[in-house]
Amino acid sequence: MTVPAILAALSVAFPRPGAALPSVERCYVLGAAAPGTTNVVVSGSSFPVHPQGGWVAMAELKPGTNTISVSCVEPGAEAAAETNIVVVVAPKPPLIDKVVDKVTQPEYKKLDYAGDTPRPHPSEHPDRVPVVVIDPGHGENDTGALSPHSLPEKDANLRLALAVKAELVKRGWKVVMTREDDSFPKLYDRPKVAHREGADAFVSIHHNAPPIDKDPRKLRYHCVYAWNEIGERLATAVNRRMAAALGESLKNNGVMKGNLAVTRNPEIPSCLVEADFVTTPEGEIDCWSRERRAKVAAAIADGLDDWRRRQPEP
Ligand SMILES: [Zn+2]
């Protein structure tokens, strides 16, 4: 699927709906203009527009102001298209932290239903069909990050997760999804699915966005988050295959420590894949490209197969 061209007037969005600014000095905004528009002017500074219409810009805010002005001259237009967005300048914590429930203390927060001992690795019972829970992040009103054309991360997550499911089924896995449509299972109910299903592994699928005051044009990579040792082994296998499949096309940030609601499970190896960033025009195109999705899905499935067979041996 290609990114739908926005032919209407200039659109502009805050990267996360309802998010508040952590500082009043700068933030990024993104949006789309008619294809062929060469540049947008954001609060007085000019930024290039991608040939497909997507753009992302940094807005410098003057103290005391909470409005960002955006304008552009579209091809064939008589006058400039203009729009303003009002930003929330109260330094409330951004919603992004709630979504992944980032916890700063070094101890994991125990899942009250989970035991402390890791379950036997699937290589110890090779006759049993391996079970994995795949968790497409966000859903329903929780869009996750937005791309320049306002395509929501929740949709990229679901598409990639369903492609991963199809690959794993071909490889003989039983796959249980936390969602298969635009619904929103509660964050803490997601790892519970793995517990209930007696799963061997849990993989959450996300796409990334920078903090609201960082410049998205300089931030694009893939990585896998894990918290404990069993999760790290799974994450390493998945990341190795993703890095091999994507090569030079996308920076690899490797396996990262992530104390997240979905990675803390002491019983079931769990990890969270950040497959790419949706926030640049180029990232948006790749995140919604069927061909690229197939490549990433096969890599994640290969990683799970390596992990299941303990290949290569650590
Ligand atoms: Zn996400």
User: Tens of pLDDT along 142-193?
Assistant: 999 999 999 999 999 999 999 999 999 999 999 999 999 999 999 889 999 9
- For the chain, what is the mean pLDDT? 86
- The maximal CA–CA distance of the chain, rounded, in angstroms, is 70
Query: Distance, CA 301 to ligand 1 centroid (Å)?
Result: 20
Categorize the per-residue pLDDT at 23 as very low, low, confident or very high, splitting at 50, 70 and 90.
low
Q: Which residues surround ligand 1, an ion (CB under 5 A)?
A: 137, 144, 206
CB contact set of 66 (below 8 Å; sequence gap of 6+): 24, 86, 87, 88, 89
Number of Cβ within 10 Å of residue 22's Cβ equals 14
Query: Distance, CA 275 to ligand 1 centroid (Å)?
Result: 10
Query: Distance, CA 57 to ligand 1 centroid (Å)?
Result: 21
Q: For 121-134, how does the pLDDT look when each residue is reduced to its tens digit (9 = 90+)? A: 999 998 999 999 99
Query: Distance, CA 157 to ligand 1 centroid (Å)?
Result: 8
**To 5 degrees, how large is the angle CA 118–CA 123–CA 129?**
95
Residue at 229: amino acid letter:
E
Query: Distance, CA 111 to ligand 1 centroid (Å)?
Result: 21
Query: Distance, CA 74 to ligand 1 centroid (Å)?
Result: 33
- The pLDDT assigned to 90 comes to 55
- The pLDDT assigned to 314 comes to 47
Task: Please name which of 37, 109, 43 lies closest in space to residue 74, comparing C-alpha atoms.
Answer: 37
Tokens for 17, please give them.
């709906």
Query: Distance, CA 198 to ligand 1 centroid (Å)?
Result: 25
Q: For 158-170, how does the pLDDT look when each residue is reduced to its tens digit (9 = 90+)? A: 999 999 999 999 9
Is 169 within 8 Å of 26 (Cβ atoms)?
Answer: no
**To 5 degrees, how large is the angle CA 34–CA 38–CA 42?**
90
Any idea what DSSP says for residue 73?
-
Query: Distance, CA 164 to ligand 1 centroid (Å)?
Result: 17
CB contact set of 190 (below 8 Å; sequence gap of 6+): 133, 135, 178, 204, 261, 262
Strand order in the sheet with 201-208: 174-177, 131-136, 201-208, 270-277, 221-226, 251-257
Measured between alpha carbons, how far is 123 from 142 in angstroms, rounded to an integer?
37
Measured between alpha carbons, how far is 295 from 34 in angstroms, rounded to an integer?
30
CB contact set of 154 (below 8 Å; sequence gap of 6+): 136, 137, 138, 139, 140, 142, 143, 144, 182
Residue at 307: amino acid letter:
W
Tokens for 268, please give them.
């079931």
Query: Distance, CA 144 to ligand 1 centroid (Å)?
Result: 5
Across 59-71, average pLDDT = 79
Is 207 within 8 Å of 157 (Cβ atoms)?
Answer: yes
Residue at 177: amino acid letter:
M
Query: Distance, CA 148 to ligand 1 centroid (Å)?
Result: 16
Query: Distance, CA 268 to ligand 1 centroid (Å)?
Result: 21
Categorize the per-residue pLDDT at 75 as very low, low, confident or very high, splitting at 50, 70 and 90.
confident
Which residues on neighbouring strands pair with residue 101, listed in sequence order?
none
CA atoms within 13 A on the CB side of 238: 33
Query: Distance, CA 209 to ligand 1 centroid (Å)?
Result: 8
pLDDT at 3 over 50: no
Map out the domains of the chain with their CATH numbers: 11-86 (2.60.40.10), 96-308 (3.40.630.40)
Across 74-93, average pLDDT = 71
Residue at 30: amino acid letter:
L
Query: Distance, CA 63 to ligand 1 centroid (Å)?
Result: 31
Is 263 within 8 Å of 226 (Cβ atoms)?
Answer: yes
Q: For 239-286, how does the pLDDT look when each residue is reduced to its tens digit (9 = 90+)? A: 999 999 999 999 999 999 988 889 988 899 999 999 999 999 999 999
Q: Are strands 201-208 and 131-136 parallel, antiparallel or unpaired?
A: parallel
Query: Distance, CA 38 to ligand 1 centroid (Å)?
Result: 30
pTM equals: 0.88
